Amino acid sequence: MHHAAPGWTPSPKDPLSPEQPAQVRRILRLFRPYRGRLALVGLLVAASSLVSVASPFLLREILDVAIPRQRTGLLSLLALGMIATAVMTSVFGVLQTLISTTVGQRVMHDLRTGVYAKLQRMPLAFFTRTRTGEVQSRIANDIGGMQATVTSTATSLVSNLTSVVATVVAMLALDWRLTLASLALLPFFVWVSRRVGRERKRITTERQKQMASMSALVTESLSVSGILLGRTMGRSDSLTRNFADESERLVGLEVRSSMAGRWRMATIGIVMAAIPALLYWTAGMLTQFGGPAFSIGTLVAFVTLQQGLLRPTVSLLTTGVEMQTSMALFQRIFEYLDLPVTITEPQRPVTLQTVRGEVRFENVDFSYDRIDGHDQGDGHDRSDGSGRTGAQSGSGRAEAADRNGPAGERRRLTLRGIDLSVPAGSSLAIVGATGSGKSTLSYLVPRLYDVTGGRVTLDGVDVRELSFATLSQAVGVVSQETYLFHATVAENLRFAKPDATDGELRAAARAAQIHDHIAALPDGYDTLVGERGYRFSGGEKQRLALARTILRDPPVLILDEATSALDTRTERAVQEAIDALSAGRTTLTIAHRLSTIRDADQIVVLDGGRIAERGTHEELLAAGGKYAALVRRDSETASGGGALEVVRTGAEDGGAGREPTRPEHRAKGGAELSPGGGTADVAVG
Both 461 and 546 in one domain: the answer is yes
Q: What angle do CA 323, 329, 335 make, to 5 degrees?
A: 130
Whether the per-residue pLDDT at 556 is higher than 90: the answer is: yes
Both 573 and 481 in one domain: the answer is yes
Position 211 confidence tier, pLDDT thresholds 50, 70, 90 = confident
Domain that holds residue 577: 359-673
* Burial class of residue 651 in the structure, from the number of CB atoms within 10 Å of its CB (0-12 exposed, 13-18 middle, 19+ buried): exposed
> Is 1 part of a structural domain of the chain?
no
Whether the per-residue pLDDT at 185 is higher than 80: the answer is: no
Amino acid 564: pLDDT: 62
* Average pLDDT score, the chain: 75
DSSP for 481-528, written as a single string: S----SSBHHHHHHTT-TT--HHHHHHHHHHTT-HHHHHHSTTGGG-B
> Is 476 part of a structural domain of the chain?
yes
Amino acid 173: pLDDT: 83
Whether the per-residue pLDDT at 644 is higher than 60: the answer is: no
Position 588 confidence tier, pLDDT thresholds 50, 70, 90 = very high
Q: What angle do CA 668, 669, 675 make, to 5 degrees?
A: 45
Cα–Cα distance list, 661 to 436, 651, 684 (Å): 10, 18, 8
Amino acid 427: pLDDT: 92
Cα–Cα distance list, 210 to 134, 206, 250 (Å): 10, 6, 6
Amino acid 350: pLDDT: 93
Both 331 and 196 in one domain: the answer is yes
Of 275, 304, 337, the residue that ends a domain is 337
Both 440 and 486 in one domain: the answer is yes
Q: Are the CB atoms for 563 and 574 separated by under 8 Å?
A: yes
Both 322 and 455 in one domain: the answer is no
Q: In angstroms, rounded to a whole number, what is the distance separating the alpha carbons of residues 459 and 424?
A: 8
The separation between CA 555 and the C-alpha centre of its own chain, rounded to angstroms, equals 32
Amino acid 470: pLDDT: 92
Q: In angstroms, rounded to a whole number, what is the distance separating the alpha carbons of residues 49 and 159?
A: 8
Amino acid 671: pLDDT: 33
User: Tell me, what CATH number does 84's domain have?
Assistant: 1.20.1560.10
The pLDDT tens digits of the residues spanning 383-421 come to 333 333 333 333 333 333 444 444 334 457 889 999 999
Strands 359-366 and 672-673, bridge-based pairing: unpaired
Angle, helices 296-337 vs 154-174, to 10°: value is 160
Least confident range of 161-170, 261-270, 602-611: 261-270
Both 276 and 371 in one domain: the answer is no
Both 415 and 285 in one domain: the answer is no
**Which tops the pLDDT comparison, 513 or 322?**
513
**Which tops the pLDDT comparison, 10 or 277?**
277
Instruction: Give the mean model confidence (pLDDT) for residues 66-83.
Output: 87
Both 382 and 498 in one domain: the answer is yes
Both 276 and 400 in one domain: the answer is no
Within 10 Å of residue 594's Cβ, how many Cβ atoms? 22
Position 379 confidence tier, pLDDT thresholds 50, 70, 90 = very low
The pLDDT tens digits of the residues spanning 126-140 come to 887 877 777 877 777
Instruction: Give the mean model confidence (pLDDT) for residues 74-80.
Output: 89
> Is 228 part of a structural domain of the chain?
no
Output phi, psi for 492, to 5 deg: -65, -40
Whether the per-residue pLDDT at 6 is higher than 50: the answer is: no
Alpha helices (H) in 260-340, listed in sequence order: 262-288, 296-337
Q: Are the CB atoms for 492 and 485 separated by under 8 Å?
A: yes
> Is 46 part of a structural domain of the chain?
yes
Amino acid 14: pLDDT: 41
Of 302, 337, 372, the residue that ends a domain is 337
> Is 140 part of a structural domain of the chain?
yes
Both 307 and 372 in one domain: the answer is no
User: Tell me, what CATH number does 610's domain have?
Assistant: 3.40.50.300
Amino acid 661: pLDDT: 37
Amino acid 303: pLDDT: 80
621: phi > 0 → left, psi -120 to 50 → alpha, else beta; which? alpha
Of 337, 372, 405, the residue that ends a domain is 337
Amino acid 447: pLDDT: 92
Instruction: Give the mean model confidence (pLDDT) for residues 518-525.
Output: 92
Both 326 and 467 in one domain: the answer is no
Whether the per-residue pLDDT at 681 is higher than 90: the answer is: no
> Is 345 part of a structural domain of the chain?
no
Amino acid 490: pLDDT: 93
DSSP for 424-487, written as a single string: TT-EEEEEESTTSSHHHHHHTTTTSS--SEEEEEETTEEGGGB-HHHHHHHEEEEESS----SS
Question: Domains in the chain: how many in total?
Answer: 2
Q: In angstroms, rounded to a whole number, what is the distance separating the alpha carbons of residues 542 and 326?
A: 45
Amino acid 638: pLDDT: 54
The pLDDT tens digits of the residues spanning 457-509 come to 999 999 999 999 899 889 998 887 777 888 899 998 998 888 999 999 999 99
> Is 236 part of a structural domain of the chain?
no
Instruction: Give the mean model confidence (pLDDT) for residues 329-344.
Output: 85
> Is 229 part of a structural domain of the chain?
no
Output phi, psi for 606, to 5 deg: -95, 140
Within 10 Å of residue 384's Cβ, how many Cβ atoms? 10
Q: In angstroms, rounded to a whole number, what is the distance separating the alpha carbons of residues 251 and 248?
A: 5
Whether the per-residue pLDDT at 13 is higher than 60: the answer is: no
Position 567 confidence tier, pLDDT thresholds 50, 70, 90 = low
**Which tops the pLDDT comparison, 637 or 397?**
637
Both 96 and 193 in one domain: the answer is yes
Amino acid 382: pLDDT: 34
